[in-house]
Amino acid sequence: MPPPPLPDFLRLLPWLAKWLALAAAVAALAGTASAFFLFALDWATATREAHRWLIALLPLAGAFVAWVYDRHGRAVEAGNNLLIDQIHDPHTQIPLRMAPLVLGGTVIAHLFGASVGREGTAVQMGGALADQLTSAFRLGRDDRRLLLMAGISAGFASVFGTPLAGAVFGLEVLTVGRLRFDALLPCTVAAILADRVTSAWGAHHTHYAVGAIPPETAATLLAVAVAGALFGLAGKLFAEATHALGAWMKRRLPTAPLRPLVGGAVIASLVLAFGADRWIGLGIPVIVESFARPLGAHDWLLKLLFTVGSLGSGFKGGEVTPLFFMGATLGNALAPLLQLPFGFLAGIGFVAVFAGAANVPLASTLMAMELFGSAMGMPALLACVLSWLCSGQSGIYKAQRGREGKRPG
């Protein structure tokens, strides 16, 4: 007869208790930071919209942030890539200053009208705060890896209000095509609790309504697959263009503050000359619009250009909300061509461009189910897998490993 199940379980209990406590601590820190960040973003966006002349200061603001990073932030400049590197190959603790620097840099970028996102900021705050527990509790190498992953999950989950996507993002973002589960409990608990903490602080997330979901016919599935491939190519284009512009700027302008000075001048001139406000900032109103009515075919491309310009010239912030914007507006534009409802394809694009550009097909599918309901799960998975495959060996996170793992051999 079987051995009684308790001994094995009893050996697990201390580890379980330790990680429930550590994950809760990570969640409290990252969730609070995300709530504060979301409030600051609301303030920055509202202030910029009320005082449009702030956009003229974008070059100076960018140069200032770059100067501060150059003097005090060289150790944390690699941002998300530093976190990913430290998880793969841990050696130095993430300096706590990563959190205030990226928070300040991102809020300034939004206040003066750069086109950037927020996941990078939330993830870096989560990771940097989590890593402070390493020395506080004298944790070893394996524990530290789990703690950093939990910090990433907590940051992502709380800034978007998507605990499942956050939990899996922390596992999935490290290595393309391979997922290890030894951090599953820390990432899950940190993601769930961080989302609750952010909500408890009173932060809210935008609600998106995809509207009618078409019947699952062969024609629908084929159209979704084709759209998924196009979303992946858009994600690839974005990732490669951002890296290429960044490298080119670094070569031509070796003095860091000059890069956002020049890039910011170009962006601010375009916005003020052509009234291109639609494609800067987070762009949440346009994302909401893309679910509600047919838009032009140019929105996604202009958002891509403004974001590539902003990130490539060194403004701080994330890539993911701009990717949601590009995906939702590209989906909206493709819908009539593919004979799909535009709200539906906007929702699929929202997650699928992200899936391809960040190489996270499962986290993005879970995000679709969390944001749009479980009926979107099946088409989202199909589109996200196609997008992930078609984005090839590109990706927004340079430190991510294993890009050759999408196909065997």
Nearer to its own copies, 302 or 362 (CB): 362
What is the dihedral sign for C-alpha 195, 122, 275, 241?
negative
Is residue 163 part of the contact set for its own copies (CB under 8 A)? Answer: yes
* Residues from 196 through 235 that contact its own copies (CB under 8 A): 196, 216, 218, 221, 225, 229, 233
Q: How far, rounded to the nearest angstrom, does the alpha carbon of residue 123 sit from its chain's CA centroid?
A: 8
Work out which of 48, 110, 145, 303 binds its own copies, going by CB under 8 A: 145
* Residues from 284 through 313 that contact its own copies (CB under 8 A): none
> Given the structure tokens 């530093």, which residue do they identify?
82
Q: How many CB atoms lie within 10 A of CB 196?
A: 16
Is residue 143 part of the contact set for its own copies (CB under 8 A)? Answer: yes
Contact criterion met (CB below 8 Å) for 290 and 235: no
Closest CB 317 distance from its own copies, rounded Å? 21
Rounded Cα gap, residues 315 and 307, in angstroms? 10
Closest CB 6 distance from its own copies, rounded Å? 8
Token code pair at residue 280: 């800067």
Q: Residues near 12 by Cβ (< 8 Å), separated by ≥ 6?
A: none
Nearer to its own copies, 101 or 262 (CB): 262
Is residue 377 part of the contact set for its own copies (CB under 8 A)? Answer: yes
Work out which of 241, 249, 262, 267 binds its own copies, going by CB under 8 A: 241
Distances (CA, A) of 343 to 294, 330, 354: 9, 11, 17
**Of 10-18, 94-102, 116-124, 277-285: span binding its own copies (CB under 8 A):** 10-18
Is residue 243 part of the contact set for its own copies (CB under 8 A)? Answer: yes
Rounded Cα gap, residues 15 and 18, in angstroms? 5
Nearer to its own copies, 257 or 327 (CB): 327
DSSP 76-142: GTTTHHHHHHHHHS--SPPPTTHHHHHHHHHHHHHHTT---BSHHHHHHHHHHHHHHHHHHTT--HH
Nearer to its own copies, 101 or 382 (CB): 382
**Of 87-95, 267-275, 340-348, 364-372: span binding its own copies (CB under 8 A):** 364-372
Number of residues that bind its own copies (CB under 8 A): 72
Closest CB 177 distance from its own copies, rounded Å? 4
Is residue 76 part of the contact set for its own copies (CB under 8 A)? Answer: no
Work out which of 268, 366, 396, 399 binds its own copies, going by CB under 8 A: 366
Closest CB 111 distance from its own copies, rounded Å? 30
Work out which of 97, 135, 142, 398 binds its own copies, going by CB under 8 A: 142
What is the dihedral sign for C-alpha 139, 143, 148, 154?
negative
Q: Is 396 helix (H, G, I), strand (E, B) or coil?
A: coil
Is residue 390 part of the contact set for its own copies (CB under 8 A)? Answer: yes
